[in-house]
Amino acid sequence: MKRGDNIDDRLREPSLPRAVVAAAPQLHVPLALRLAERVRSHGTRMIVGLCGAQGSGKSTTARVLTHLLAEQGLSALALSIDDFYLTREQRMALSHRVHPLLSTRGVPGTHDVPLALATLQSLRAASPTLLPRFDKATDERLPRQSWPTVQTPCDLIILEGWCVGARPQPAAALQSPVNSLEQDFDPDLKWRGYVNDTLAHEYQQLFSMLDMLILLAAPSFDVVYGWRLEQEQQLRRQVQAASGNLARVMDDAQVRHFIAHYERLTRHILEEMPHRADIVVPLDAQRRALQPWRI
């Protein structure tokens, strides 16, 4: 694999959209080559964080990277922080104990960080490892007996997620609400304070395991609604094709309300993380990598 290679045929196997294949020479191929270089200099079982706003293409990028790294003779595994959400019962309990907004999955405080830590530690030790799975259509963690198992050592583990590698805000930054959700439902700062405190402690333990951090940088938070809406529409099509229950698939208004939970930290990430991430890929509104970007 080289930067100038035509990779259309080689990426046909994962059944990727044509837009993804078209973006690969400018985005995925350079990333894969850099990761292969780092793995060989770092040693095996390197853990890479892949951060990006909702709908920025993190999951697809992680999937393509594992495919391209296999061509380099490296075994790569992609994990999503979304698969480590607390169960709905746990989030309901948290919402009663701390704040009602914590019933909505997504923000720091709604993940099972000990489970994520244990999973990464097991993978790094090359032990047989169960991989948790979360079903967004039912808003629930899948039963343990349905989790896949990794039996063989991985050269590289990609942990992708919208807040992977994020750092907390200064306390003073929490004072002013960033949207109507914070203004109307969190006037005493209890929710945003809990999210920030949890990010400052439990999540930094998890992110300290990262050997490298990559940011897919959206042009602004303003594009996130459209990106996230596309994801929900795709989920709707998948649920319909499987004759599933559409009750938990969000409509447009629900998507807008949902992403409001993410706005504060997404804006903070886009402002703060580019100064310290190992690789920053600036994206345009169509998720295309803007050129040039530092590899």
5 falls within a domain = no
- Give, as one character, the DSSP assignment of residue 45: S
Q: What angle do CA 142, 211, 1 make, to 5 degrees?
A: 90
In DSSP terms, 78 is beta-bridged to: 158
**Residue 254 near residue 80, CB atoms below 8 Å:** no
Q: Is residue 293 part of a domain?
A: no
Predicted TM-score (pTM) of the model is 0.89
Is 289 a domain residue? no
What is the pLDDT at residue 137? 78
Q: In the chain, how many domains are there?
A: 1
Within a domain: 295 = no
Token pair listed for 12: 């046909």
Q: What is the residue-wise DSSP string for 263-291?
A: HHHHHHHHHHGGGT-SEEEEB-TT-PBPS
Q: Is residue 8 part of a domain?
A: no
Q: Are 180 and 260 in contact (CB under 8 A)?
A: yes
Estimate the crossing angle of helix 58-71 against helix 28-42, to 10 degrees.
60
* Residue numbers of the domain that contains 256: 18-282
Phi, psi of 112 (to 5 degrees): -90, 85
What is the predicted pLDDT for the residue at 16? 60
Check residue 207 and give its pLDDT.
98
Which helix (H) or strand (E) covers residue 140, if one does? strand 140-141
Residue 63 lies in a domain: yes
Which stretches in the chain have pLDDT values below 50? Answer: 4
Long-range contacts of 85-92 (CB under 8 A, 24+ apart): 85/110, 85/111, 85/112, 85/134, 85/141, 86/110, 86/111, 86/112, 86/141, 87/140, 87/141, 88/139, 88/140
- CATH number reported for the structural domain that contains residue 205 in this entry: 3.40.50.300
Residue 174 falls within a domain, yes or no? yes
Residue type for position 277: A
The CA–CA distances, whole Å, from 6 to 1, 25, 243, 289 equal 9, 8, 38, 17
Shortest CA distance to 2 belongs to which of 27, 33, 26? 33
Structural domain contains residue 1: no
How big is the chain, counted in residues?
295
